Amino acid sequence: MASGYSSTLPARQKQELQKSVLDWLHTNGYEDSFAALKRESGHEDFVADPKSKYAGQLEKKWATFVRLQLRIMDLEGKVHKLEEELKNAPVRKATKTVDWLPRPPAKHTLKGHRSPVTRVCFHPVFNVLATASEDTTIKIWDYETGEFERTLKGHTKAVQDVTFDPKGAFLVSCSADLTIRIWDLNNEYQSKTLFGHDHCVSCVRFFPSGDKIASVSRDKTIRIWEAASGYCVKTIQGHTEWVRHISIADDSRLFATVSNDFSVRVWDATSGECKFDLRGHDHVVECVQFAPPTAYPYIRQLAGIAAPARVRSPSTTTTTTVGSRLRNGSTASSSNPPSASVSEEPAGHYAVSGSRDNTLRLWDTMTGQLLHTFKGHDSWVREAVFHPSGKFILSVSDDKSIKIWDIANGRCMKTLADAHDHFATCIAFSTVSPLVVTGSVDQTAKIWECR
């Protein structure tokens, strides 16, 4: 049989294919074709046997091939649909999100983890959500549909934290197995492992530039890593107990950490020097979060701090400085809300911390001053985030609730009681869609629509 075709199959697989075809021809009664193929393929001694491994193999392989083809077509259709949605998606303006707040019931309840959910985070660009759990896994979800996408396995003990880099190309996680893993989203979530900590790694964060990673651990240290090489470039010490959480300022100049030693510490990211050791909590501090600049006007109103004067020219001197009090000592009237424009104050000027003393505390990280204590939770505060508008703080607690705090007046304006069936452990706010996600010891994550 003359042909210019050259088989790409190895000899062994070629023989298996020929014998499978012979079995199929014999089984279906094509005896002439069966005899011709035996002769031309050199398998004169082949005897069709229903117990052999070739029996029915051709049909099984063909059925698998068809299923894969249908799956590929289905996925291609979904990709095309998502590309169209992304292309035609309206650009949301920040002004429309000012009063969006999570409202019950939950839009989706994500079930799949076999142990408590420890951390949740949204992808900065796509409709992707990651959840970490004490069951040693990370799960990836489509947060618009609530559909499960995949499980990332690699850690051997509880995964304590997970977060995406600013561009969404990588995912970083840390675990009680003493390791940090960087997962490459563009390479089927292939991961590399960073070693260095001597105890459970509690929290891990990308710097806003995406080129460095900061981690904190029960070994009482803070470590800075090069994201590309995985090399630890700096180890910082200062806390006397387990370091629980870290937040990095938008300009990367400062970061803040909290610890079992009841303290909140503010650090110079370049030198590793501790600038302030903030004391006020009377129990373990679980979380810390720098305020976005959009929150500064509301924080100033709460604390009675005058707005910073704008510098008009190098020769102009201003009489009002950042952090100065209103001259009469009174707070700004709640009937006159502050301007929502972003101030000229430095990134990382204010931070909020949450503690097992059931409170959140708001700090001025430039002066070390405690500005306000938010009281209302009935149990440990596990995590807190700022609303994108800057007007609110959202917190979750072991009292199972989500609380929404109005920063300008320092009070809780709304409580989603029994948001979970067990302790609420974590919370995140999407920067893409008006959604909030929370995780819990009840082994679920819940997506809440804001409207």
Judge if 40 and 137 occupy the same domain: no
Domain assignment present for residue 292? The answer is: yes
Q: Does 39 share its domain with 178?
A: no
Task: Let me know whether 125 and 18 are in one domain.
Answer: no
Domain at 346, CATH number: 2.130.10.10
Top pLDDT among 418 and 50 is at 418
Which is higher by pLDDT, 68 or 447?
447
Q: Do 178 and 201 form a contact (C-beta atoms < 8 A)?
A: yes
The predicted-structure confidence for 116-167, as pLDDT tens digits, reads as follows: 999 999 999 999 999 999 999 999 999 999 999 999 999 999 999 999 999 9
415-447: pLDDT as tens digits: 999 999 999 999 999 988 999 999 999 999 999
122 and 62, same domain (yes or no): no
322, pLDDT greater than 50 = no
More confident of the two residues 36 and 351: 351
Domain identity same for 334 and 373: yes
Q: What is the pLDDT of residue 336?
A: 46
Please report whether residue 315 resides in a domain.
no
Instruction: Using alpha carbons, select from 376, 364, 387 the residue that is nearest to residue 415.
Output: 376
408 with 275, same domain: the answer is yes
CA–CA gap between residue 243 and residue 450 (Å, rounded): 33
pLDDT of residue 397: 98
Look at residues 81, 111, 132 and tell me which one is the last residue of a structural domain: 81
Mean pLDDT of the chain: 88
The CATH number given to whatever domain includes residue 57 is 1.20.960.30
Prior bond to 90 cis, omega within 30? no
Please give the residue that has the higher pLDDT: either 59 or 213: 213
Please give the model's pTM, rounded to 2 decimal places: 0.73
pLDDT for residue 310: 59
Domain count, the chain: 2
Burial 438-451 (b: 16+ CB within 10 A, else e): bbbbbbbbbbbbbe
Same-domain pairing of 300 and 390: yes
Provide the pLDDT for residue 47: 83
Residue 10 has pLDDT above 70, yes or no: yes
Q: Which long-range contacts (CB under 8 A, 24 or more apart) does 389-392 make?
A: 389/94, 389/97, 389/98, 389/99, 389/100, 389/294, 389/340, 390/291, 390/292, 390/293, 390/294, 390/295, 390/296, 390/297, 390/298, 390/340, 391/98, 391/99, 391/295, 391/298, 392/101
Task: Give strand pairing partners of 206.
Answer: 213
User: Final residue of a domain: which of 27, 52, 81?
Assistant: 81
pLDDT digits (tens, 9 = 90+) for 82-103: 887 777 765 544 434 567 899 9
Which burial class, exposed, middle or buried, applies to 6 when counting CB atoms under 10 A from its CB (0-12, 13-18, 19+)? exposed
Query: Tokens 């989203």 map to which residue?
Result: 185
At 345, is the pLDDT very low, low, confident or very high (cuts 50, 70, 90)?
confident
Indicate if 75 and 105 belong to the same structural domain. no
Domain extent, residue 44, equals 14-81
pLDDT digits (tens, 9 = 90+) for 370-417: 999 999 999 999 999 999 999 999 999 999 999 999 999 999 999 999
Among 28, 48, 81, give the residue marking a domain's end: 81
Query: Which pLDDT does position 312 carry in this prediction?
Result: 44
Confidence of residue 324 (pLDDT cuts 50, 70, 90): very low
What's residue 273's pLDDT? 96
Cβ 56 vs Cβ 48: under 8 Å: no
Distance CA 303, CA 310 (A): 20
